[in-house]
């Protein structure tokens, strides 16, 4: 059996001007914190994600890349250049008219994620889908990609069907705010919101990092205040953080002294809970760069990406806006955290060099195997994509055996920190570079 989250009760789910690294969010209408859902996104060079619908709050953005029906457009928010909460600014810049994730080139035009790094990632997810179907004891299973981008992951899963999904009827759903791309496999249903009541696998690759959130900074007087931002990226202090946001910070990201910052992850908690809530039975997985309570970055992680390069986070629609995810906070009871390296190893992706003898008997096969080993090594590299966090949330089933080994219960700083030896989360609290920066900035698209 999968261990339950410890010290956790069920709950609803949904930088500074310095460089950071991020993922491309996906799609979907998930909840966010504040007035509506956040964001979504699809895979791209180094970032990905999607969004879902969450209960409204006092200071939240929309849930990423799916439409929240306008709930995230908070009353009184100004478009005249005055300073507004970061959650509102992110929602507009990413998903509003002319927003970054609605641009025709899509996320892949600006960064790459694991999905773009190698088809082995989609094959691994296809294997996980098959394992989930076995847990459900069914021959018909749904796969829901939150923050689907332009459908790259689902396209890869369907391409792997012959090897991994033999005998299964697969119903693929892409949740994304952007319009359906031309030429997409007709079997893929394009949705603005995650379908309710499905049985199968819900997968959110680099979605939560694009769910809008608010930023807080501790002033010289020790008071924690919201940070407000203008369209040109200049900031000013807002009012004191109070209510549910203050409670979230106290539990998950305590103030570390004057001048330090925190990203209020309540919107991500709500977005994730809302997404998980759409499953009748099955498995929900969120993949993102993450940090743990005991190692939160003192100056937060918000950053921008454009054309494969990291840029200052300016909320004018010209760049991606992303921040690392407190996956330990998002976890619901029964959830488990492990690193991508361990997760992909369990799903059969290993960077092992093929036997040299193969070069003599099958030179072309040897070259193909060598290429696959190189791609697997990138997906599982320590200090790169292998350090991404996987939050695995079972709904009415046990976690498939491939993901039930390494890692441990999610929900407390200690339980996440205990996985440091496996690099489940970056041990220093830093973002795993690149939304796919396995080998540094030069690996990003366009660099």
Looking at 77-151, list the stretches that DSSP marks H as alpha helix, in order from N- to C-terminal side: 86-95, 114-117, 119-136
Task: Please count the other Cβ atoms lying within 10 Å of the Cβ belonging to residue 105.
Answer: 10
Structure-token pair, residue 392: 């695995």
Model confidence over 286-311: pLDDT tens digits? Answer: 999 999 999 999 999 999 998 888 99
The predicted pLDDT at position 283 comes to 98
The predicted pLDDT at position 108 comes to 63
Cα angle 49, 52, 286; round to 5: 45
Q: Is the dihedral of CA 193, 216, 317, 210 positive or negative?
A: negative
DSSP bridge pairs for 153: none
Tell which phi-psi region holds residue 107, choosing left (phi > 0), alpha (psi between -120 and 50) or beta.
alpha
Q: What pTM was estimated for this model as a whole?
A: 0.74
CA–CA distances in Å: residue 321 to residues 21, 197, 339, 363: 9, 31, 23, 45
The predicted pLDDT at position 156 comes to 94
CA–CA distances in Å: residue 295 to residues 43, 326, 329, 395, 432: 27, 10, 13, 29, 14
- Residues of the chain short of pLDDT 70, as ranges, are 1-80, 106-112, 406-447
């Amino acid at each position: 059996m999968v261990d339950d989250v410890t010290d956790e009760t069920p709950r609803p789910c949904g930088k500074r001007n310095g460089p950071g690294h991020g993922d491309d969010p996906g799609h979907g209408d998930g909840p966010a914190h504040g007035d509506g859902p956040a964001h979504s996104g699809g895979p791209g060079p180094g970032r990905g994600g999607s969004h879902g619908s969450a209960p409204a709050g006092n200071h939240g953005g929309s849930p990423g890349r799916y439409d929240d029906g306008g709930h995230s457009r908070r009353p009184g928010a100004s478009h005249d250049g005055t300073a507004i909460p970061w959650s509102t600014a992110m929602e507009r810049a990413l998903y509003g008219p002319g927003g970054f994730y609605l641009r025709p080139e899509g996320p892949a035009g600006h960064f790459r994620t694991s999905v773009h790094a190698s088809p082995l990632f989609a094959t691994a997810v296809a294997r996980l889908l098959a394992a989930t179907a076995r847990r459900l004891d069914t021959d018909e299973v749904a796969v829901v990609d939150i923050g689907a981008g332009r459908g790259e992951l689902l396209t890869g899963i369907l391409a792997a069907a012959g090897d991994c999904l033999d005998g299964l009827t697969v119903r693929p759903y892409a949740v994304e705010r952007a319009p359906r791309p031309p030429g997409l496999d007709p079997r893929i249903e394009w949705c603005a919101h995650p379908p309710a009541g499905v049985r199968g696998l819900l997968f959110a690759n680099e979605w939560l990092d694009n769910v809008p959130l608010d930023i807080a900074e501790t002033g010289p007087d020790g008071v924690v205040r919201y940070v407000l931002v203008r369209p040109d990226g200049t900031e000013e202090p807002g009012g004191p953080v109070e209510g549910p946001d203050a409670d979230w910070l106290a539990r998950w990201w305590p103030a570390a002294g004057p001048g330090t910052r925190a990203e209020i992850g309540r919107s991500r908690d709500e977005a994730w809970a809302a997404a998980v809530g759409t499953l009748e039975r099955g498995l929900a997985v969120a993949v993102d760069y993450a940090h743990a309570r005991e190692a939160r970055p003192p100056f937060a992680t918000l950053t921008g990406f454009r054309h494969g390069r990291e840029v200052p986070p300016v909320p004018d629609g010209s760049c991606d806006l992303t921040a690392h995810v407190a996956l330990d906070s998002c976890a619901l009871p029964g959830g488990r955290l492990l690193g991508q390296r361990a997760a992909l190893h369990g799903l059969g992706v290993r960077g092992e060099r093929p036997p040299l003898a193969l070069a003599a008997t099958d030179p072309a096969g040897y070259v193909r195997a060598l290429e696959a080993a190189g791609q697997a090594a990138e997906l599982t590299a320590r200090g790169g994509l292998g350090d991404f966090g996987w939050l695995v949330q079972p709904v009415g089933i046990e976690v498939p055996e491939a993901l039930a080994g390494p890692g441990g219960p999610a929900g407390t700083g200690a339980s996440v920190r205990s996985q440091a030896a496996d690099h489940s989360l970056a041990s220093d609290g830093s973002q795993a570079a690149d939304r796919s920066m396995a080998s540094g900035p030069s690996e990003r698209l366009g660099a």
